[in-house]
A and B are shown apart, each in its own frame.
Chain A
Amino acid sequence: MIRRAASPLHAARAPVAAAYACAFVTAALAFEHPLVLAAIGVAILAAGLLAGAGPQLRRACLFGVPFALLIALVNPLVAREGLDVVLRFGDMGPLGNLDVTKQSLVFGAILGMRALLVVLAGAALLAAIVDADELLRRFRGISARSALTAALAVRLVPVLGRDARRLADARRCCPGAAGAGAIGSLERLQIVRAVATGALDRALDVAATLEVRGYASPAAHGRARRPHEPWSRHDISVAAAAAGLVLLAGGARLLGVASFEAYPRTVAPVGAGEWVLCAALVLVALAPFADRRGVLR
């Protein structure tokens, strides 16, 4: 469940906030240049902190950093590229001669960094700033069936988790299970309660999900249209930032700014173009925070 904070990102409508997070993912995937990736990382962290999503980003790091490290470690072992050998493992049987090169280490670190940025922007920031209920409600106007499927799937994941825990508790009451004795009336009651609670819980969750997403309203059946909501200044500024990030990434790729060559020698030019691009990415990403008027407190 989203925890609304007083920030322009939370003030913007859900699709716009989602586009903002996705623009970071696009930018991270568009570049391999370490300086630019670092700038995107700074922008994601700053946006997250300014939007009050620091705890979510920190939790995402707990998963994302080991994942990034794993990628960084695996790449040198599977990529037989690069010229400067730093470690020789000799003949590894079916794998042949295994040499770790400086270039494969560097590129592994870059791939890990990109993965971390995708986790931070595409998972943590997105979850922290986007109201999933609102997003799905708006998506319903485009494809009602898909929105319904997505809504139920998202909602049922925690329900199924609770089901699993209840059934595990109930299983422990069964005779023959580890640590279980002869089954009594109390244990029988516990099993019945677990199964019944699970079924009721699921039914209630499905009903609540449908209600919350507005499937009970006349609009869900096409009998009424949602009133037109004018774009707020935050909608406009966040959407402009998202578009700006994508345009900067695309433009830089077209102009050849921040080009990167991983193998056989690492080539990552750092010139005025790269510095300007980094500054522009950070400024564009954080521009919506300059105007906090009308933000809920």
Chain B
Amino acid sequence: MSGRTWPGWRAGRRLAAGAAAAAALALGGCGLGPGEEPATPVSLTVTSDFGGRALLRRPEAEVSGADTVMRVTQRNAKVTTRFGGDFVQTIGGLSGGRRDGRPYDWFIYLDGVLTSEGAGGLRVTGGERIWWDHHDWGLTPDVPAVVGSFPEPFLHGADGRPVKLQCDPAQRAACDTVAARLDRVGVEADRGPLRRADRDGSLRIAVGTWTALRGGTPEARSVDQGPKSSGVFARFGDDGASLSLLDPRGGVAKRLGGEAGLVGATRQPGRPPMWFVTGTDAAGVAAAADAFDEPVLHNRFAVATSGNLPLSVPLPAADGP
């Protein structure tokens, strides 16, 4: 029997084509309704002044289906948007604009990494840590990575990339501490020596004195160039024996001598973020390794240690908010 003579042939072909189109749409993420909800909770944090003031904390934010970051934020906070709903104008009544002649705006960190996309285009899949911070961007609008979402980006934000712990052999104890903290939160990290270049796209944590880390990677060089390049509001002295903590305007707010430590993160364009657990000397590195813990890092852009006292970096400006 020929296909032309079978009465159901044409209808069958249409049905098959329709089913194929529906399958293609479903595979492409299309469908009716909000979609499947993520299995892992999504956390939402809203702060101001570089994490200095907490405005909202939802460890298990309300999520419906395959929400975007913007929708999660709108479900859990009072938000007004601009540019067609992709960018935030106000959260909880706090808006971008100018304050005391300084520009302020909302910035979003997804798993500890500044996003370049609008929040309306970022879909949550589960386990994300969403952090909105309202801060002064007069010195730089680009603080590309922060430590306050730990254990992200190592736990969910790695997207299957390996995590590498690169240690100065002279700082074995500090490296052990960092490795143990990673292990405790369920992050598997390959441990190895410090390397000058690593092009495999892994997320790296470098542990060692700043003299050992300095100049070894583009990320370390950017930290030496200052916050405009790295987004880290701290600078080591030329000899690596002192650490200056900066305020949001780039001025030196506090200068630490020996035994000063720093846990910071930065990111070069097109590369994954890189973290530093470092210090002016062995004692400083050990103190920084001790600070490498979720409760200490929580909601901070970077952490400096003076003795065993953790300090949020950037420090508030003397005449600032």
Contact = CB atoms under 8 A, between A and B. Distances in A.
Interface in B21-64: 25, 28-35, 64
Given A85-B65, A88-B35, A80 B30 contact: no
B84 interface: yes
B85 A97 contact: no
B85 A80 contact: yes
Contacts of A96: 117-118, 120-121
A86 B68 CA distance: 14
A88 B81 contact: no
B116 to A, nearest CB: 12
Contacts of B68: 80, 97, 99
B120 A80 contact: yes
Interface string A97-121: 1010000000000000000000000
B75 interface: yes
B33 A97 contact: no
B84 A90 contact: no
B84 A81 contact: yes
Interface residues of B, number: 28
8 A-B pairs with the lowest CB-CB distances in the bound complex, closest first: A90-B29, A96-B121, A81-B85, A80-B120, A80-B85, A264-B74, A85-B34, A90-B28
Nearest to B120: A80
A28 to B, nearest CB: 23
* Count class of interface residues, chain A: 10 to 19
5 contacts: A80-B120, A87-B31, A97-B121, A263-B85, A264-B74
B136 to A, nearest CB: 28
Given A97-B68, A97-B123, A83 B28 contact: no
A99 B71 CA distance: 11
A231 interface: no
B121 A264 contact: no
A99 B67 CA distance: 9
A96 B86 CA distance: 11
Interface of A: 78-81, 83-91, 96-97, 99, 263-264
Given A97-B121, A263-B81, A263-B85, A91 B71 contact: no
Contacts of A85: 33-35, 64-67
A163 to B, nearest CB: 43
A109 B235 CA distance: 56
Contacts of A91: 28-29
Contact of B32 (A84, A86, A97, A264): A86
B70 A80 contact: yes
Interface string B65-92: 1111011001100010100111000000
A88 B117 contact: no
Nearest to A85: B34
Contacts of B31: 87-88
